[in-house]
Structure 1
Amino acid sequence: MRFNVILSVTFLASFAAGLVIPSNEVESRGLEIRDGLIDDPVDSIVFKRDPKRTKAQKARTAAARTERIKKKGEKKASFQAAAKAHKKTTNLPARTSTFHVPAGGGKPAHTYTGKDVRKAVFDSHREAQRIKTLSKTQAKKSPLKSFSNHPHESPKPGGGAKPLPHMTVDKTKKHTQPGREFPLPNHHNPSTPSPARVITQKTKGGHYTFKGVISHDQSRTDKTKGAGYNDHFQVKERKRKGK
């Protein structure tokens, strides 16, 4: 009997010893288990909740959104006002017409279509709307300028005394106030000003009319300043035949 008990205890001890995992294996197996969890794309996802925003943060976000909506509305209203003014502008050239500025003083010639001129007139209306939101200092930097059709300092032989012979400027009368000039683009070098401008003037009815295109004489270089360097001359419209 005693022998059987001793045999049973010995057997159980041997069996239990077979179930024991060495410490070094426990560490390695634990590492494998952890690696398995990390590699699992589902089990390893950790969802983090965004921290609650304070009342001040919510107020700033709401104010910024309101300001964006306001600016978007102002931009839309400004565009619509410019489009309305352009639609009422009279005497615009045909889109197929051309306006040619001769080369001179080492500068290339410029040729503009009636479509280019129409776009510049529209851009002048847009700029007029933009200026309304600027300070006086900022407005002075605008490309939209006043045009009084002053006589030339140095007229060309056989040319008129003023840039636009059919434009009257009389500041004592409401409908003959100075016009507006706006630059046409420089196709050769967009980063520099073009010598040409479009001219519009307000009428009795309160809308604008296109008066013509003017340009500097490019043959008059810096060396000729004081002798009509800043004079502007009319660039005549060349209408397409049959149009």
Structure 2
Amino acid sequence: MRFTIISSITLLAATLTSGLVIPVDSASGEVIARSELADDAYDAMIYRRRTSKTKKVAIAAARPAKQAAKAQKKASFAGAAKAHKATTNMPARKSNFHVPAGGGKPAHTYSGKEVRKEVFNSHMEAQRLKGLSKTQQKKSPLKPFYNHPHEVPKPGDLKPLKGMATVVKGGNQQPGREWPMPNKATPGTTSPVRVITQEDNKGNHVFHGVIAHDQSRTPGPGYNDHFQVN
């Protein structure tokens, strides 16, 4: 029955648009009803065609940008994978890094596998930042790390990490890079823990360790000091 109605509508549309007259009782209003029905069917058909054409044009217009983004993502992944493979001194996957609780803040514990994953993510972010403006780069969680001396050092801990190359103004040595570990205790908030890498003279990265705030400290001198996590 549905097919019969649709066929009738299509036939009516074709008949009316060709100028033919349907012999029916005009007094009953059937001619008007059928005419309006045919017009509605015709309008719907035209609307579908126009909508389909507009949609195709929009898809075609968006395709180059989508393909470029896909290619960029693929290139970034390849670049990050290459940098990660060349990164040395990586921690053992089964090692552990523990940040004690303090000041009402929870403890944080990460495996070597989790640390290695975030080193890779730091390489991914470095790839993403290529070509962006300095303003955009500053918004990234990937930050330069200079291994500055502690404001309030602990015995034997004058700097966050030992063995990092010193950055001299005007020299060729690049600063390290710090990248935040995910906050397991409060997902979505900033973690006090960072992974640190630094380029060597061959352009490859060296993993130097994991650092974190001393959570027992209160706001004031030394509050933002970072200490190595073992």
Question: TM-score when scaled to structure 1?
Answer: 0.73
Paired with 1:136 and 1:173, the residues of 2 have a C-alpha distance of 21
Paired with 1:108 and 1:159, the residues of 2 have a C-alpha distance of 26
What is the letter of the counterpart of residue 63 of structure 1? A
After the TM superposition, which residues 93-104 of structure 1 pair with which residues of structure 2 at under 5 Å, given as runs? 93-104=91-102
Paired with 2:52 and 2:98, the residues of 1 have a C-alpha distance of 64
- Deviation, 1:51, is 2.7
- Deviation, 1:133, is 4.2
- Deviation, 1:41, is 2.4
Confirm whether residue 229 of structure 1 aligns to residue 223 of structure 2. Answer: yes
Question: TM-score when scaled to structure 2?
Answer: 0.77
Confirm whether residue 213 of structure 1 aligns to residue 210 of structure 2. Answer: yes
Confirm whether residue 43 of structure 1 aligns to residue 4 of structure 2. Answer: yes
- Greater C-alpha radius of gyration: 1
What is the letter of the counterpart of residue 94 of structure 1? A
Tell me the residue number matched to 1:109: 107
Structure 1: runs of 5 or more not aligned:
1-39, 237-243
- Deviation, 1:140, is 0.8
Tell me the residue number matched to 1:125: 123
Paired with 1:221 and 1:44, the residues of 2 have a C-alpha distance of 79
Paired with 1:44 and 1:87, the residues of 2 have a C-alpha distance of 67
Q: Deviations over 1:102-124 (max 9, x none)?
A: 11000011011001100110010
Identity, % of aligned positions? 59
Q: Deviations over 1:70-126 (max 9, x none)?
A: 111111111111111111111110100000101100001101100110011001001
Structure 2 CA distance for partners of 1:109 and 1:68, relative to 1, 3 Å: same
Tell me the residue number matched to 1:65: 63
Tell me the residue number matched to 2:28: none
Structure 2: runs of 5 or more not aligned:
11-44
Confirm whether residue 166 of structure 1 aligns to residue 163 of structure 2. Answer: yes
Confirm whether residue 190 of structure 1 aligns to residue 187 of structure 2. Answer: yes
SS of alignment partner, residue 157 of structure 2: coil
